[in-house]
Amino acid sequence: MDWGTELWDQYDTIEKHTQTGLELVEKYVKFVKERTEIEQNYAKQLRNLSKKYNQKRSSKDEPECRLSSYQSFLDILNEMNDYAGQRELIAENLMMNICIDLTKYLQELKQERKTYLMEAKRAQQSLESTYKQLDSSKKRFEREWREAERAAQHAEKTDLDINATKADVEKAKQQAHFKAQTAEESKNDYASQLQKYNKEQNQFYFNDIPLVFNKLQDLDERRIRKLAQGYILFSDTEKQVMPIIGKCLEGITKAGANVNEKNDAMIVIEQNKSGFERPGDVEFEDYSQGINRASSDSSLGTPKGPMDLLGRNKGKNFWLFSRKSKPTVTEDFGHLPPEQRRKRLQQKLEEISKELQKEVDQSEALGKMKDVYEKNPQMGDPATLASQISQTSQNIDRLKGEMSKYENWLTEAGARGDSTRYKTYTFNDNGAHDALSADGAHSDESPPDPSQPIYAEFDDDFEDEEPAAPIGRCTAMYSFPGASEGTIAMKEGEVLAVVEEDKGDGWTRVRRNNGDEGYIPTSYVSITLNK
């Protein structure tokens, strides 16, 4: 069944129904928008909550960072932040897939409905115009026929009147004939207009209006179908992120399961163990017999009482639960108990060692670059590297001094067992370095011979090792002769495989298809690394 057949006379009802349907779509869009705002505000509050309790981003030196309970709480805050992100995603998808899409579709439906209603109105106006013409011709026919009847009656009356002249009778008959002819024309015109109106009325009720009503029915069904899809999307939008939300909740559960109270207790011991021994019994001082008061000045010896335990706080009473003032932090970590002081000094030495190694690597790279520039002046001026070499050398000297200082403090702190030995370095004029052990003796490593080719050691690597897998490709922008040993020649436009990235010395290791490998200036090629 369709509207055009069953509801042919319900124009007002159809117009109202379709308008109500469009208003329902608008109401649903408004509902989803408000839901989106709720999701956005919820996500914002969750993010602010996570940020509020995660403001103090403790450094790795903070004692709490190593505790599993503390780390699990940070994991929960991170998971809540991710959870907030999923709520934001829900809001974004609701807005894009429902609100914006339905709003656009609604505008199209409104315009389409307006077009159909205009078609119906035009058909109605056309039918009304034809009816007016019919009514006008009908009234004219009625008027002309009455006048014809009166003219006929007058002619007949005149003919019977003995006093009327022949001319009067003839005139009356002519007038009656004219009126009758006019009435007949009006009758024919009325019949023609009636036929035309009936035809248009049939077209209106059996074709035009049913077609418009069926179009409006199709529009309304499409509206309902689109609205139903919007209802489903309302649910599916949240279902799509449920797996990720589930992972966030699993992460929170995992964070709780990762808490290890025993391990936390051990970490507290490790972080706060002072290394002191418990104080011995306080000796009885018999002033009546002259007591020999002996005290030890060594802070590392076994304390005989609370005064020896505190060392620098002699003269003050020692109480286990007394309120202590925060000690002044010193560079040698002397404010810490012996055990903690040794750990901090060892950590500091490891940090300095890493920094020193970076400077040494930088110095090696500068030395290689300087030698290449001296042998190939067209590639660069060696004098431009002097300031960098000098600065690197100063940095190494400074780090060596710091390392020596901290090693002495570590020795004073009484490092247990075999203490870690950290290498120090000296430099020659070319920027090359000699490795020295902590006690100043030369190690087995020897500086490279300046007379040897700069990259000779790399050739040995190429022969002994299996070819490394390429990590990208490069295209030569300029030609390079490859005169120095360890380098490889290339022509402009040549494509080579990248085997090793530039490590800061300005050289990239490449390979040809035939297996030849060597170094080329990084600035001479355009490099594309594999993803």
The residue from 198, 230, 264 where one domain ends is: 264
Is 172 part of any domain? yes
Q: What is the DSSP letter of 415?
A: -
CA–CA dist 433, 311 (Å, integer): 45
CA–CA dist 305, 297 (Å, integer): 13
Least confident of 67-71, 254-258, 284-288: 284-288
**pLDDT reported for residue 94:** 95
Burial (0-12, 13-18, 19+ Cβ within 10 Å), 452: exposed
For the domain that residue 495 is a member of, what is the CATH number?
2.30.30.40
Range picked from 60-64, 275-279, 360-364, 447-451 for highest mean pLDDT: 360-364
Regarding whether 357 and 254 lie in a shared domain, the answer is: no
**pLDDT reported for residue 172:** 87
Is 287 part of any domain? no
**pLDDT reported for residue 384:** 86
For the domain that residue 169 is a member of, what is the CATH number?
1.20.1270.60
For the domain that residue 348 is a member of, what is the CATH number?
1.10.287
Regarding whether 163 and 82 lie in a shared domain, the answer is: yes
Is 465 part of any domain? no
CA–CA dist 507, 450 (Å, integer): 19
**Alpha helices in 55-100, H assignment, sequence order:** 68-94
Share of the chain above pLDDT 70, in %: 81
The residue from 375, 396, 413 where one domain ends is: 413
Is 325 part of any domain? no
Q: Are 151 and 180 in contact (CB under 8 A)?
A: yes
Indicate whether 314 pLDDT > 60. Answer: no
CA angle 482, 483, 484 (to 5 degrees): 95
Is 353 part of any domain? yes
Regarding whether 346 and 247 lie in a shared domain, the answer is: no
Query: Residue 438 half-sphere exposure, CB side, CA atoms within 13 Å?
Result: 16
Regarding whether 228 and 90 lie in a shared domain, the answer is: yes
* Mean model confidence pLDDT for the chain: 81
Regarding whether 208 and 354 lie in a shared domain, the answer is: no
Is 55 part of any domain? yes
Regarding whether 167 and 46 lie in a shared domain, the answer is: yes
Regarding whether 128 and 228 lie in a shared domain, the answer is: yes
Regarding whether 498 and 395 lie in a shared domain, the answer is: no
Q: Are 87 and 238 in contact (CB under 8 A)?
A: no
Least confident of 135-149, 207-221, 364-378: 364-378
Q: Tell me, what amino acid is at 526?
A: S
Regarding whether 232 and 359 lie in a shared domain, the answer is: no
What's the total number of domains in the chain? Answer: 3
pLDDT in tens, 195-249: 999 999 999 999 999 999 999 999 999 999 999 999 999 999 999 999 999 999 9
The domain in which residue 162 lies consists of 3-264
Task: State the chain's maximal CA–CA distance in angstroms.
Answer: 191
The residue from 413, 430, 462 where one domain ends is: 413
Regarding whether 237 and 380 lie in a shared domain, the answer is: no
Regarding whether 145 and 24 lie in a shared domain, the answer is: yes
**pLDDT reported for residue 344:** 81
Is 327 part of any domain? no
Residue 235 DSSP SS3: helix
Is 304 part of any domain? no
Q: Are 484 and 453 in contact (CB under 8 A)?
A: yes
Q: Are 446 and 463 in contact (CB under 8 A)?
A: no
CA–CA dist 23, 99 (Å, integer): 14
Regarding whether 387 and 487 lie in a shared domain, the answer is: no
CA–CA dist 63, 59 (Å, integer): 9
pLDDT in tens, 144-192: 999 999 999 988 888 888 887 888 888 988 998 998 999 999 999 999 9
Q: Tell me, what amino acid is at 415?
A: A
